Structure 1
Amino acid sequence: MSDDNQKTLCGYIEEELQIKDPQAYISLIEPATHYCEGCGRSAAKPENVCKPKKL
């Protein structure tokens, strides 16, 4: 995960991070503080989603 700061969860899902490295994916979403108004995914940091909205 070298380009972490530039990717959103959508990018990680495309690369199947949730399958290849579940713990790394979980670290991006736990504890969730924001969600994406576009796709509904939740994340620990606003920069991890495309259209962040505070929970």
Structure 2
Amino acid sequence: MNTQNTSLFTAISKAATKKLTTVVNETLAFNVIQTKAFTAADLWNIQRQRKSSLQRRHYA
């Protein structure tokens, strides 16, 4: 199996280079309400609730 690549870079046209290097104007969104980040405690709480619901299912 040939593991060496002799042509590391492929030829790119001037139009493709211009398209790749154009500057994109970004807008900043003000008045955005921050949402609470998902933490490890949230995951622990979901898993804890799932375990208790599985135990209740077997009692019925």
The TM-score, its normalising length taken from structure 1, stands at: 0.23
The TM-score, its normalising length taken from structure 2, stands at: 0.22
Bigger-Rg structure (1/2): 2
Higher relative contact order (CA 8 A, sep 6+): 1
